[in-house]
């Protein structure tokens, strides 16, 4: 099935989450708004999850490489015990680490570690964090040239086959990808038995990824946005880069709705039919971000926000490449040439 916006499921699973949901290509429903946990430190992330779930969030996005899923698992267990929610009320996303792409056993090991840390029997959505491998045990992010194994089409196909086995086993309900281009997705689809449910990539008003979105829709792959606010806390910000939340159109619309620029960014992406996972450990921002789901933009406002796209990628990941290693991680020429 193609992904599409739907009303909340009748079983009430996400009744508190908000009106925005997406039906994945396996038939499962994902709340289109969730809490991101990248850069959320231990000692803070558990409280953030607790605040978010109590406020009505029903989707938590995590990853092995965030190194905080044990605290997330503890927070969720406390909420279950208190009767605030049940496990089946929460949609949990996690990601296979770049260190675990080497062989089938590594994939299984990573998944089991995630399940143990989150104290759960299954993950709702399990993504390949990125289509590039790093040698297991390498000192990330300070990599040597021999530590960076990069992209290998056959290796990703093998990883995917193992993830398909995890679906059959019941350890994960849906599998997907992250940071995949059109070209790399096409390569994966040559051998995949299960079409990825989701591709999670950078997407915000200054980098709207129109072609990748159209491609994903054509394949029934739901489109998920990280850095939906332009990642104001990212490392290595170029002072010359335009700041998403300072854009005059965003601010004008925010003033009309008595909203924040962040809320308009979130609302815009939801109106495009996308999944949005802003991260925060601040109680006020966690609650503010949720309020974005209550904003109804006009078609004219959505069009005005579409028009501010600058094709500005903020995450090149080049800073993670070892000295002397150069590669086009984003297949720019190939993707531009692809005909949908």
Which residues are known to be catalytic?
66
**95 within 8 A of 101, measured Cβ to Cβ:** no
Cα 158 to its chain centre, rounded Å, is: 22
* Distant-in-sequence, close-in-space partners of 339: CB < 8 Å, separation ≥ 6: none
Beta strand segments in 107-190, E: 123-128, 133-134, 148-150, 172-178
Tokens 């809490």 belong to which residue? 35
In 3D, which of 85, 91, 92 has the Cα closest to residue 66?
A: 92
Q: Which sign, positive or negative, has the C-alpha torsion 42, 61, 51, 297?
A: positive
Beta strand segments in the chain, E: 4-6, 21-23, 29-31, 35-36, 59-61, 91-96, 123-128, 133-134, 148-150, 172-178, 198-202, 222-226, 275-276
- β-pairing, 222-226 vs 275-276, is parallel
Instruction: Indicate the Cα dihedral angle 274, 277, 278, 281, nearest 10°.
Output: 160
Q: Three-state SS for 302?
A: helix
**16 within 8 A of 39, measured Cβ to Cβ:** no
């Amino acid at each position: 099935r193609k992904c599409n916006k739907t009303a909340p499921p009748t079983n009430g699973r996400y009744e508190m989450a908000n009106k925005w949901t997406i039906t994945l290509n396996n038939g499962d429903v994902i709340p289109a708004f969730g809490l991101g946990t990248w850069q959320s430190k231990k000692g803070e992330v558990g409280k953030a999850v607790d605040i978010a779930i109590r406020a009505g969030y029903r989707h938590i996005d995590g990853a092995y490489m965030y190194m905080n899923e044990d605290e997330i698992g503890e927070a969720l267990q406390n909420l279950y015990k208190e009767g605030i929610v049940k496990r089946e009320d929460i949609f949990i996303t996690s990601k296979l680490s770049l260190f675990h792409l080497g062989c089938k056993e590594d994939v299984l090991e990573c998944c089991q570690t995630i399940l143990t840390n989150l104290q759960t029997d299954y993950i709702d959505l399990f993504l390949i964090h990125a289509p590039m491998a790093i040698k297991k045990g390498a000192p990330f992010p300070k990599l040597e040239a021999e530590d960076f194994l990069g992209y290998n089409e056959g290796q990703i196909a093998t990883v995917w086959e193992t993830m398909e086995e995890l679906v059959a086993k019941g350890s994960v309900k849906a599998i997907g990808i992250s940071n995949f281009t059109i070209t790399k997705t096409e390569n994966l689809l040559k051998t995949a038995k299960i079409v990825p449910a989701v591709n999670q990539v950078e997407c915000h008003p200054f980098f709207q990824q129109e072609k990748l979105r159209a491609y994903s829709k054509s394949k029934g792959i739901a489109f998920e946005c990280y850095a939906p606010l332009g990642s104001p806390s990212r490392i290595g910000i170029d002072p010359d880069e335009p700041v998403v939340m300072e854009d005059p159109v965003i601010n004008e619309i925010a003033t009309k709705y008595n909203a924040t620029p962040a809320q308009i960014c979130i609302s815009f992406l939801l109106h495009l039919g996308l999944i949005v996972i802003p991260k925060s450990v601040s109680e006020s921002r966690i609650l503010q971000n949720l309020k974005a789901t209550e904003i109804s933009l006009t078609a004219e406002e959505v069009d005005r926000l579409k028009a501010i796209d600058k094709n500005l990628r903020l995450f090149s990941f080049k800073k993670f490449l070892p000295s002397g290693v150069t590669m086009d991680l984003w297949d720019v020429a190939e993707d531009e040439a692809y005909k949908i």
